[in-house]
Amino acid sequence: MIYRGHMNRRWTKFVALGDSLTEGVGDEDETGRPRGWADRFAEEIARRQGGLRYANLAVRGLVTAEVLTTQVPAAVALRPDLVSAIVGMNDLVRPNLSLRTVLRDYDTLLDQVGSTGATILTATLPDPGAVLPLPPVVRSRFASRLSRFNDHIRGSARNRRAHCLDLARLADGDTHAWSADRLHPSPYGHQVVADEFLALLTGVRSDRPEPRPADPPHELAGLAPSLRWLTTTAAPWLRRQFGAPVSVPNRAKAPDYLALT
């Protein structure tokens, strides 16, 4: 049975752009394949309207300029009527950041995908410093940079009539929404993002939300857990960020649609 709720239009082709958040890192299935909020959201739209063609082009580790050059042309060629674009975290963690350049690239990205006439979904970025054992000075500087970025995202989305989800508000301090690495959402967190995008776009909330876990996936309180996280998770992640590009096997790299029903 097709369930439409209060949805007053039908989308035929949805393309998701971005980095590890949209690829689905932190929400892997039993085979290790990323699922993530975009898959969950696309599946729910397909269920409610009776079908959807969906392409996830997101690849972990990419900065905004790389998403602009490697994903946007493929997205435009697919001629979608619904596009999501969430980028920026991999830019913001880099010490030698030109925020002006990143914001310019972000605006160009929205303009180019908007040229298709598609409805655009975007989002502010949450602050991982809220749940990470970072030194106060580092936490404060990153929070300031993130705040400037998010303010621009809100204004840019408003000027382009894009739908902007305030992930910065949603993930504020909720340890259940983060996976054990504290860098990516948990399955619960990805489902929350999917549900909130559904509500933002359609005015309808999910009728089968992900249960909130009884306990956070990993506690970082205390010196020993914090040091363990820094050596086993943070340091390898930073090496990957600043090292040579890694080719990540991903179902998203083929610029074609998957038919969902």
**Predicted pLDDT of residue 7:** 58
Q: pLDDT tens, 162-176?
A: 999 998 886 565 667
Burial class of 258 by CB neighbour count within 10 A (0 to 12, 13 to 18, 19+): middle
Exposure on the CB side of residue 52, measured as CA atoms within 13 A? 27
Q: pLDDT tens, 37-52?
A: 999 999 999 999 999 9
Q: pLDDT tens, 177-198?
A: 776 666 778 888 899 899 999 9
The residues spanned by each domain of the chain are 13-260
Q: Indicate if the pLDDT at residue 86 is higher than 70.
A: yes
CATH for the 13-260 domain, from 3.20.20.70, 3.40.50.970, 3.40.50.300, 3.40.50.1110: 3.40.50.1110
Greater confidence, 244 or 194?
194
Global confidence as pTM: 0.81
What average pLDDT does the segment 200-208 reach? 82
What average pLDDT does the segment 114-142 reach? 78
Helical (H) or strand (E) element with 258: strand 258-260
What average pLDDT does the segment 116-140 reach? 77
What average pLDDT does the segment 194-213 reach? 81
